[in-house]
Amino acid sequence: MFTRLKSIISDFIQQADLVLLALCCTATCYGLALIYSATRYKDTYRYVVVQAAALCIGILCYIFFSMVDIEELSKKWKWLVAFNVVFILLLIPFGKEVYGNRAWVHFPGMPVNIGPAEFIKITFSILLSRQLQWLQEEKRDLKSISAIAFIGGHTILLCGYYYVISSDMGNALVYVFIFICMAFAAGVALRWFVLAFAAAGGGITALWAMDLIPSYMKERFIVLFDHSYDPLGKGWQQTRSLLALGSGQLTGQGFLNGTQTQARYDGSLPARWTDFIFSVAGEELGMLGCLGIILILAAIIVRCLMVAKRAKTRMSAYICVGMAAMLIFQTVENIGMCLFVMPVIGLTLPFFSYGGSSVVTLFCAMGVVSGIKKRSLPDWLRNR
Side-chain-side CA neighbours of residue 330 (13 Å): 28
Say if 9 falls within a structural domain. Answer: no
pLDDT in the model for residue 381: 45
Q: How far apart are CA 224 and CA 379, in angstroms?
A: 53
pLDDT classification of 235: cutoffs 50, 70, 90: confident
Query: Domain limits at 258?
Result: 17-378
Q: At what angle do helices 236-248 and 277-310 cross, to 10 degrees?
A: 90
Question: Which range in 16-20, 150-154, 302-306 is most confidently predicted, on average pLDDT?
Answer: 302-306
Say if 199 falls within a structural domain. Answer: yes
Say if 2 falls within a structural domain. Answer: no
Position 383 pLDDT exceeds 50: no
How many folded domains does the chain comprise? 1
Q: How far apart are CA 47 and CA 17, in angstroms?
A: 29
* Assessment of whether the complete model's pTM goes beyond 0.85: yes
Say if 373 falls within a structural domain. Answer: yes
Tens of pLDDT, residue by residue over 281-321, are 999 999 999 999 999 999 999 999 999 999 989 999 999 99
Position 332 pLDDT exceeds 70: yes
Say if 3 falls within a structural domain. Answer: no
Q: How far apart are CA 107 and CA 96, in angstroms?
A: 9
Q: What residues have CB less than 8 Å from 348, skipping those under 6 apart?
A: 274, 275, 277, 330, 334, 354, 355, 358
Average pLDDT over residues 61-76: 91
Q: How far apart are CA 351 and CA 361, in angstroms?
A: 10
Say if 104 falls within a structural domain. Answer: yes
Position 154 pLDDT exceeds 80: yes
Q: How far apart are the first and last CA of the chain?
A: 21
pLDDT in the model for residue 216: 80
Position 249 pLDDT exceeds 80: yes
Tens of pLDDT, residue by residue over 169-208, are 889 999 999 999 999 999 888 888 899 899 989 988 898 8
Q: How far apart are CA 96 and CA 101, in angstroms?
A: 8
CB 63 within 8 A of CB 367: yes
Q: How far apart are CA 353 and CA 54, in angstroms?
A: 12
Say if 314 falls within a structural domain. Answer: yes
Q: How far apart are CA 63 and CA 16, in angstroms?
A: 8
Task: Kindly report the average pLDDT of the chain as a whole number.
Answer: 89
User: What's the per-residue H, E or C state across the chain?
Assistant: CHHHHHHHHHHHHHHCCHHHHHHHHHHHHHHHHHHHHHHHHHCCCHHHHHHHHHHHHHHHHHHHHHHCCHHHHHCCHHHHHHHHHHHHHCHHHHEEEECCEEEEECCCCCCCCECHHHHHHHHHHHHHHHHHHHHHHHHCCCCCHHHHHHHHHHHHHHHHHHHHHHCCHHHHHHHHHHHHHHHHHHCCCHHHHHHHHHHHHHHHHHHHHCCCCCHHHHHHHHHHHCCCCCCCCCCHHHHHHHHHHHHHCCCCCCCCCCCCCCCCCHHHCCCCCCCCHHHHHHHHHHHHHHHHHHHHHHHHHHHHHHHHHHCCCHHHHHHHHHHHHHHHHHHHHHHHHHCCCCCCCCCCCCCCCCCHHHHHHHHHHHHHHHHHHHHCCCHHHHCC
CB 265 within 8 A of CB 296: no
